[in-house]
Structures are given as structure tokens and as C-alpha cells.
């Protein structure tokens, strides 16, 4: 049985992390043919022998977070790549403030050394503290939310790229543009007991 969350994870794995294990070669912007992706997934997942383009389109349309896009018979992941070949992104003007959710030990290091992409190609930033909180809960039940003065950083030469409507990317954010924000700012977003 095909589930959209499972399909989204599989498509993300193929387009963001291990395209070669699916026999795929992404272009410089991360695109691959929709039919090529479908055939690659069918080879890996025999249970999905009926997978078709409509399934991919519905997965993209119904996703809460816009992770993929389909245009002119091609599909790509919008952000989150950890592949060796770096995907080209167009520089864009970010919102004045962006946010990053993480755990306490990483936050201490980030505040002193800056935000680095680590295993990904780009640093990921959220457009609001609530989204950053949700992202941060993947690492810690009570994540630390960092404020990034993106507008100021850009005016000082830091380049930003739009991932989608809720995610912005950067190569590196120096510590001079990063600070912790208080839990009161996000107090309405506590983990469920």
C-alpha cells in the first residue's frame, strides 16, 4: 500500500541523499526526469509497481512542508541535500530575521563558532520561531531556538538562498549574527506529555 509520507521519505532519499543508489544522476540544479525517478523507485520497491506521476504530484501537493517540486516532467528536492556534488542555488534577499532550532550543546557551539551546514550542503533556517521549535524537537524535547539577524548578515556579505516558503538556506552564518531567544517567545509550543 502506497502512503504519501513513505513515498516522500523515499523520494527525499533518492533526490537529497543517495541518487546513485537508485541509479539516478541529478543535473546541476538537482533535477531528474519524473519517469526516470518512478522507474528507479519501482526497481527498489517492488511493492510500488503501480507508482505513477499522479502519485508523485499528489505527494507534492499534499505535503505540509514543500520539500519537492515538479515542473515540465522533471522533479527535484528543494533543500536538505547531503550529496557530494553541491547543487547551485540562486541568491535571494532573506527576511530580516530567521530562526534555527537545535539542542543545548549544539547551541552553545553555534553561538561561539557560527552555523555550519555539517552533513548537508547548506545551513537550514526557519522563517519563524515556531517552525524552528518543531525542527528542533527532532534533536531535543526542549530545543534551543536561535535568532539569526539575516538582513544584517546579508548586508555584511552573507549569501542566502530561498529553500521554500518556510525554509531559507545559507553557506555559513558567523556567530556575530546569532543569538539565543527566550523560551517565552515560543512558550505556546511545548512538547506534549
Tens digit of each residue's pLDDT (9 = 90 or more) over 105-116 = 899 999 999 999
CATH number of 4-77: 1.10.10.970
Domain covering 98-186, topology: ADP-ribosylation fold (3.20.170)
CA–CA separation, 40 and 14 (whole Å) = 9
Tens digit of each residue's pLDDT (9 = 90 or more) over 131-183 = 899 888 888 888 999 999 999 999 999 999 988 778 898 999 999 999 998 76
Confidence band for 189, pLDDT divided at 50, 70 and 90:
very low
Task: Enumerate the domain spans of the chain.
Answer: 4-77, 98-186
Percent above pLDDT 70 for the chain: 89
**Would you say the pTM of this structure is higher than 0.95?**
no
DSSP letters for 95-161: PS-EEEEE-HHHHHHHHHH-B--TTSSSEEEESSHHHHHHHHTTT-SS-EEEEE-HHHHHHTT--EE
Amino acid at each position: 500500500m502506497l502512503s504519501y509520507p513513505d513515498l516522500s521519505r523515499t523520494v527525499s532519499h533518492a533526490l537529497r541523499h543517495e541518487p546513485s543508489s537508485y541509479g539516478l544522476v541529478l543535473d546541476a540544479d538537482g533535477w531528474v526526469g519524473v519517469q526516470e525517478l518512478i522507474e528507479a523507485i519501482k526497481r527498489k520497491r517492488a511493492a510500488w509497481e503501480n507508482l505513477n506521476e499522479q502519485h508523485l504530484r499528489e505527494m507534492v501537493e499534499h505535503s505540509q512542508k514543500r520539500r519537492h517540486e515538479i515542473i515540465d516532467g522533471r522533479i527535484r528536492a528543494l533543500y536538505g541535500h547531503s550529496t557530494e556534488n553541491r547543487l547551485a542555488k540562486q541568491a535571494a534577499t532573506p527576511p530580516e530575521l530567521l530562526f534555527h532550532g537545535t539542542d543545548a550543546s549544539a547551541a552553545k557551539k553555534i553561538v561561539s563558532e557560527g552555523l555550519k551546514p555539517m552533513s548537508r550542503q547548506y545551513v537550514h533556517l526557519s522563517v519563524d520561531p515556531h517552525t524552528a521549535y518543531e525542527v528542533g524537537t527532532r534533536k531535543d524535547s526542549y530545543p534551543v531556538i536561535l535568532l539569526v539577524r539575516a538582513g544584517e548578515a546579508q548586508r555584511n556579505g552573507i549569501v542566502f538562498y530561498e529553500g521554500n516558503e518556510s525554509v531559507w538556506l545559507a553557506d555559513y552564518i558567523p556567530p556575530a549574527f546569532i543569538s539565543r531567544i527566550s523560551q517565552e517567545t515560543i512558550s505556546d509550543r511545548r512538547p506534549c506529555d
